[in-house]
Amino acid sequence: MPETVIATDLLTPLGAYLRLRPGARGAFLLESVERGRLGRYSFVGRGSRLVSFDEAELLGEPVVGYLGYDAVARLEPTVPLPDDGPDLPESQFLVPDVLIRFDHARGVAEVLIGDSSALDGPQAARALSRARRAPAPRRARERAHPRRGRLPGRGRAACGPPHLGVAD
């Protein structure tokens, strides 16, 4: 069971990915889609250690990465491989230092590996600072003049946006 559960009313998988990505050797965002709609789970994480397929099998930990087509020949020797191809590693996997599972059905994010403080970054600190400085918005009806139904200020009508200068 995850130790940290975070409400996702203000945190999205993309927002978490953008907070985790800076300074990481690798980061990922895996979205699930079912019948063209967002599926139940999304996974977001970051890590600093890259390993091969053989190393990943021995770890016994979650990893995210790829297994290239050439690895098929090791798993099924009867599959012929082309003679030449791109000079890429056969496999590459990231061992996550932070792994977060978003459960869209429950509206929560669960920190499966690592610490939720990894989501606190410069962006989060700036947003929190702005939220603390900004006055709480009041409803237009509460700000309206009690007899005329107008917003206070230069004779603008309550129904028009102030930047358009809608007047009586």
98 and 160 within one domain? no
- Asked whether residue 98 falls in the same domain as residue 161, the answer is no
Judge if 53 and 113 occupy the same domain: yes
**36-41 CB contacts, 8 Å cutoff, 24+ apart:** 38/104, 39/104, 40/103, 40/104, 40/105, 41/101, 41/102, 41/103, 41/104
pLDDT tens-digit readout, 45-95 = 999 999 999 899 999 899 999 888 777 777 887 877 777 767 778 889 999
> 30 and 62, same structural domain?
yes
Answer yes or no: do 34 and 91 share one domain: yes
Range of the domain at 161: 140-168
Do 128 and 56 lie in a common domain?
yes
Same domain, 121 and 153: no
Sign of CA dihedral 85, 86, 89, 94: negative
Is the pLDDT confidence value at 133 over 90? Answer: no
Domain count, the chain: 2
Do 168 and 129 sit in the same domain of this protein? no
Which of 119, 163, 142 minimizes the C-alpha distance to 22?
119
Considering the domain architecture, whether residues 29 and 76 belong to the same structural domain is answered as yes
Distance, in Å, from the CA atom of 155 to the CA atom of 122, rounded to the nearest integer, reads: 41
Judge if 124 and 77 occupy the same domain: yes
pLDDT at 151 over 50: no
6-25 tens-digit pLDDT: 887 888 999 999 999 998 89
Q: How far is 11 from 42, CA to CA, in rounded Å? A: 12
pTM (predicted TM-score): 0.64
160 and 113 in a common domain:
no
28 with 101, same domain?
Answer: yes
